[in-house]
Chains A and B, each alone.
Chain A
Amino acid sequence: MTFSGEFFAFMALALVAIIGGVLLLNLNKVVHMVVALIFTFVSIAGVYILLSAEFVAAVQVLIYSGAITIIMLFGIMLTKPYDESEAKSGKWRKILVFLGVVGFAFAVYLGIYNFDIQQVPTTLHEDNTMQIGKGLYTKYIIPFEFVSVLLLAALIGAIVLAKREDKEADEE
């Protein structure tokens, strides 16, 4: 391992991403949490660039840092998230889940630690977007179309669900 610029970039991005994640768990206000999350999402986009996936990085920024975060913020604003009533059975579960997560992480880490994968030179960074485009419209055309159907369904579903029913509107 050499201390190249690439390495430092990765370390920085990883650090920001993890700090963002930790803050997500520990901040008090929901809005702050979401903001912390934006940091994570953006640094993940950076990691994508390191992995020679510029297009994915771009999409990451657009969808996650942009769209999803905004949706979440709307969600927060439309509800009353500041209800501070105490959880009933929080503590033990938190400890147990924490232990479970640590154990899980440890187990998977053992796998990763011993994982030595061969590297071959790649051409992914050359015309990355074009490669993706070719992939999507040739080999993956059918899944792609399905995704469009899925998105449509989600769109309609979301509208139906979130729309106030007339009756309720009358009542209020």
Chain B
Amino acid sequence: MSSIPASAFLALALILFCIGLYGALTKRNTVIVLISIELMLNAVNINLVTFSKYGINPSIDGQIFALFAMAVAAAEAAVGLAILMALYRNKKTVHIDEMNEMKN
């Protein structure tokens, strides 16, 4: 039994998620945007792990899900960075507002 209520963890996750979200939507540097996305994923992981402990039927499943999420996040970070590199080679910039190849 824990003395900390589940909502405390959830609140922490929420705050981190919001920070990540804000960063992802406002930062110009693509690397930072990627990092912010990782932060959001982390916040989600906190929720997963929290619910694996709290609730009526606590089980290990939540932690396993968190692991899966981490694996996917790692893959995503790798591919994301690879794309970033490719882009950088072509456009000589890492600023996300200059990457508008999809325009029109």
Contact = CB atoms under 8 A, between A and B. Distances in A.
- Touch between chains A and B, by CB atoms below 8 Å: yes
Interface of A: 1-2, 4, 6-7, 10, 14, 17-18, 21-22, 24-25, 30, 33-34, 37, 40-41, 44, 47-48, 50-53, 55-56, 59-60, 63-64, 67-68, 71-72, 74-76, 78-81, 83, 85, 87-90, 93-94, 97-98, 101-102, 104-105, 108-109, 112-113, 115-122, 124, 128, 131-132, 135-136, 139-140, 143-144, 147, 150-151, 153-155, 157-162, 164, 168
**Listed residue (B60, B70, B76, B93) with the most chain A CB atoms within 10 angstroms of its CB:** B60
B56 interface: yes
A139 B38 CA distance: 27
9 contacts: A48-B49, A53-B52, A63-B70, A67-B74, A80-B92, A109-B11, A155-B75, A161-B86, A164-B89
A35 to B, nearest CB: 11
Given A2-B3, A24-B39, A97 B31 contact: no
Contacts of A121: 1
Leading 10 A-B pairs by shortest Cβ distance = A154-B75, A161-B82, A158-B82, A21-B19, A162-B82, A122-B58, A158-B78, A162-B85, A131-B60, A112-B10
Contact of B78 (A34, A139, A155): A155
